[in-house]
Amino acid sequence: MKIQKNLLIGLVKSRLNILSLINPSLARKEVMRLFCTPLVRYKGKPADIFLKSEALEFKLDDLSIRGFRCNHPSLKKLLILHGFSSSCHKFEHFVKPLVKLGYEVLAFDAPAHGRSDGKQVNALVYAEMIKKIQTLYGPINAYIGHSFGGLAACFALESLQSLPATKLVLIAPAADTTTAIDNAFAMLKLRNKKLRQMMDDEILALSGNETSWFSIRRAIKNIDAEVLWIQDENDLITPMKDALKVKDDNHGHVNFCITKGLGHQKIYHDRTVMDTIINFLGK
């Protein structure tokens, strides 16, 4: 498996390096496509708790987005937002505790994930999905976002009219897109500075914003919600250094919970972390 992975990385690296020399325009598009394509699409067994709930489906442009609604109708509503290459089904353990708090729980697979349509996704598309869910099934009182889902939640919330006392839980959020791109280039062993600049150029061309604009540190000051940010010191995917920049900004509406030894995936399964989230949402 490791040999196959290294071989694939080598092929991708060679292709991009060659494209950057002979067709820079195509290289720009290809590197962007790779960055926006999930590594895997979750096709595991659907969570029983969702199968026993109401299945939902709606259109986001020409894509069918599929998910579930549990404990409908309720006075309070919460939306779960999974990370990159993940699925709402991986967050089934949140549902029962949230229902006990009186929440109606909404959970969807993002575009290009799980059982939703699409082959690529970026944070702005994910944010548009969140805003569409708010329109169709809201108003939403609380959000839980892991990793990429946390970044998308912040982009959505800074342009949504939040309810009074809205709560946002960020679990190991992808705080800085520049860091995410640098990590992706490191994983692919791409040291081509020209290609790296092409990525920034493509983001600017597509969105009208520099890569640095796509950060939670910028967005969070525009969010009218009480925020619980849970971060592990040993997270190699969304590193502590990016979270500390936000922590050092001392926003009054952002509370931090720092863990150690849980990394990027175990953190949202940890019992103590779960209790912290439930206590925060139950206030």
Mean pLDDT on 89-96:
96
pLDDT in tens, 16-69: 777 777 777 888 888 899 899 998 888 778 899 999 999 999 999 999 999 999
pLDDT in tens, 172-209: 999 999 999 999 888 877 888 888 998 999 999 999 99
Cβ-based neighbours of 68, under 8 Å, separated by 6 or more: 50, 53, 54, 55, 56, 88, 106, 107, 108
Contact 29, 15 (CB under 8 A): no
pLDDT at 10 > cutoff 60:
no
pLDDT at 215 > cutoff 90:
yes
Nearest CA among 92, 108, 8 for reference residue 56:
108
Is-above-0.75 flag for pTM? yes
pLDDT at 279 > cutoff 80:
yes
Q: How far apart are CA 62 and CA 157, in angstroms?
A: 23
Tokens in use for 81? Answer: 């937002």
Say if residue 173 is preceded by a cis peptide, omega within 30 of 0.
Answer: no
pLDDT averaged over every residue in the chain:
92
Confidence of residue 4 (pLDDT cuts 50, 70, 90): very low
Q: Which amino acid is at 242?
A: D
Q: Which amino acid is at 83?
A: G
